[in-house]
Amino acid sequence: MPNEIVAMLVTTFLLFPTTDAVLHGNVYTHKDTWPSPAIGSPLRPQRPSLELQEMLAEIDPERIEHTVTTLVGFRTRHTLSTQESSTEGIGAARDWIYHTMKANAGTSDGTVDVYLNSYIQEAAEFYPFSVNVSNVVTQVNGTVDPSRAYVVTAHYDSRRLDLMDFTGDAPGADDDATGVAVVMELARVMTKRKPKATVVFAATAGEEQGYQGASGSAHLARTLRHAGYDVQGNWNNDIVGTGKNTPFSAVNDFIVRVFGASIYYPNTSSAQLREQYSVFGDWNDSPAHNLGRFIREIAAGAARALRMRVELVYRPDRMGRGGDHYSFLAEGFPAVRFTESVEDFAHQHQDPRVENGVQFGDLLEFVDFEYTTRVARTNLASMWSAANAPSTPRNVGISMSVGALASNRSARVEDLSNKSQFCWATGHDSLAVGYELVWRPSGSLDWTHYLNVGHRGTVTVDLPKDDLQFGVRAVGKNNMKSPAVLPVPIDSC
Ligand SMILES: *[C@@H]1O[C@H](CO)[C@@H](O)[C@H](O)[C@H]1NC(C)=O
Ligand SMILES: *[C@@H]1O[C@H](CO)[C@@H](O)[C@H](O)[C@H]1NC(C)=O
Ligand SMILES: *[C@@H]1O[C@H](CO)[C@@H](O)[C@H](O)[C@H]1NC(C)=O
Ligand SMILES: *[C@@H]1O[C@H](CO)[C@@H](O)[C@H](O)[C@H]1NC(C)=O
Ligand SMILES: *[C@@H]1O[C@H](CO)[C@@H](O)[C@H](O)[C@H]1NC(C)=O
Ligand SMILES: [Zn+2]
């Protein structure tokens, strides 16, 4: 590109940040990486297939508006509210979601299940009496790999400032009718298609009362684990309707935050794994981080259709807060949380009221349905891409005897290299036609380079493992790539 055009673009970006500039930001533009890579190619985000582009166009902002409006109309969706009424309370919301999911799946050819995943929550903290907690679920079984699953969640319960007030108005428009609208739109569009792995769409209850263990999502994650599903991702959408009166700018309106936990949260991984992460400096390479990177890359590759940039935040959630993805992390599944770029605390958990001319409350009027539509498309692009790609590779190791010190005098000088060697299992996944090694300088957070190594289970590269972070990912026939996997240090390949 001629210099004057570059200069013009830079000026344009600085003076008038265009949507394109915002979307592309500084993703994948590392120029001065250290150490200088001698091999591989700069990573280019994978592009959306034609089928995926068609599906993205089917996401309907009017249906999203209708879902959020209908859910707000139930007055409260508090988990302890009535389940006896057909017009208000959480029972009415549950039944409406169920019947709508059923109707939306009706045009599919009987390959879709719509069901309630319920349990009785006994009296406990924040549950003064026992209550039937029901998740409403649509499931499409994978055509090739049905036991591998991807789960999108959002909670349909709502709350007021007083968590125990289950009778007052709790509209919960942004938190989290918007997330439920995302889940229901994805279900509607995907039930008409045939994903290779299983996709699960769940509206959950009990999130506000007890996201740690005593919640619908905890029951769902346990149910899926007990049923033997290999859940390779949870997309949790909670507060995804950036309000029209929040202090958002043209930039924030085209950004969604994705929170990804390190291996240290929650404290459930084995002591050995935690030690590996701390000794080898892998705190930015958890399965949740690699799922988040995957979502960010898909969004960058489909930026034109999505008009949304994913900002990956390297913490489990906003500080001191949490949500349904914690339930999936607790079962050992990679899980991330989508939340709007800027929250407005005057319109979250607040009792609806006007004070000194200020309107408080999580009301419909503060939701931007176009924003929620972009969030839905970002979810759809990444979830569909994962569900049609091969599984993440298994048994990925990095050899500690290649590129290592000599232990005696008979080691030959030509073997004393800085090389890195990797190996992984092959043959168990009919979808994998090849593998890629990806890497980045240790101080960067996005993958910067990749090397396609073909359909084999090992590769040795002239790159120093001390200065780079690596991942291995599988590549499918359709050139769809799995999220990357962090290699475990092993004695030798
Ligand atoms: C989907 O898979 C589950 C688990 O194997 C099975 O119980 C269910 O009947 C399947 N649904 C359809 C529609 O095939
Ligand atoms: C909870 O309520 C749902 C909806 O009425 C019902 O289908 C389910 O059987 C109930 N669950 C239990 C455990 O009672
Ligand atoms: C985390 O787990 C380790 C053992 O794996 C334990 O020693 C430590 O007390 C735990 N920390 C917390 C905060 O639970
Ligand atoms: C010397 O070290 C190499 C590895 O560095 C090892 O393969 C070899 O067995 C060692 N030889 C002796 C005699 O210990
Ligand atoms: C190790 O890497 C450095 C630069 O990163 C290079 O100068 C040196 O030649 C390498 N050593 C071997 C044995 O390849
Ligand atoms: Zn919420």
Query: In percent, how much of the chain has pLDDT > 90?
Result: 80
Residue type, 240: V
Convert the pLDDT of each residue in 463-487 to its tens digit: 999 999 999 999 998 889 999 999 9
Whether the per-residue pLDDT at 182 is higher than 70: the answer is yes
Nearest CA to ligand 5 atom 12: 417
Convert the pLDDT of each residue in 101-126 to its tens digit: 999 998 667 789 999 999 999 999 99
Atom of ligand 2 lying closest to residue 83 CA: 5
Atom of ligand 3 lying closest to residue 271 CA: 5
Alpha-carbon distances of 330 from 58, 130, 274, 368, rounded to whole Å: 34, 23, 15, 32
Whether the per-residue pLDDT at 163 is higher than 60: the answer is yes
Q: Closest ligand to 37 CA?
A: 5
Q: Locate tokens 């590109």: which residue? A: 1
Cis bond upstream, residue 446 (ω within 30) = no
pLDDT at 22: 41
pLDDT at 418: 87
Q: Closest ligand to 115 CA?
A: 2
Q: How does DSSP classify residue 176?
A: I
Atom of ligand 1 lying closest to residue 146 CA: 2
What is the SS3 assignment for 435?
A: strand
Average pLDDT score over residue span 7-30: 39
**What value, to the nearest 5°, has the Cα angle with vertex 24 and ends 23 and 26?**
125
Whether the per-residue pLDDT at 2 is higher than 90: the answer is no
* pTM (whole model) above 0.85: yes
Spell out where 68-179 has E strands: 112-121, 131-140, 145-155
Task: Identify the weakest region by mean pLDDT among 233-242, 244-253, 371-380.
Answer: 244-253
Q: Is 478 exposed, middle or buried (0-12, 13-18, 19+ CB in 10 A)?
A: middle
pLDDT at 287: 97
Pocket test for ligand 2, best of 134, 135, 220 (most atoms within 8 A of CB): 134
pLDDT at 25: 41
More confident residue, 442 or 97: 97
Q: How many Cα atoms sit within 13 Å of 472 on the Cβ side? A: 28
Identify the band that residue 249 occupies on the pLDDT scale cut at 50, 70 and 90: low
Alpha carbon of 392 to ligand 6 centroid (Å): 29
Nearest CA to ligand 5 atom 13: 417
The 3-class SS string of 181-241 reads HHHHHHHHHHCCCCCCEEEEEEEECCCCCCCCCCCHHHHHHHHHHHCCCEEEEEEEECCCC
Average pLDDT score over residue span 223-238: 98
Residues framing ligand 5 (Cβ under 6 A):
35, 416-418, 464
CA distance 182 to 59: 9
Convert the pLDDT of each residue in 276-310 to its tens digit: 999 999 999 999 999 999 999 999 999 999 999 99
Pocket test for ligand 2, best of 84, 132, 219 (most atoms within 8 A of CB): 132
Whether the per-residue pLDDT at 158 is higher than 60: the answer is yes
More confident residue, 110 or 424: 424
Q: How many residues does the chain have?
A: 493
Average pLDDT taken over every residue of the chain: 90
Is the minimum distance from the CB of 452 to ligand 1 under 6 angstroms?
no
CA distance 311 to 319: 16
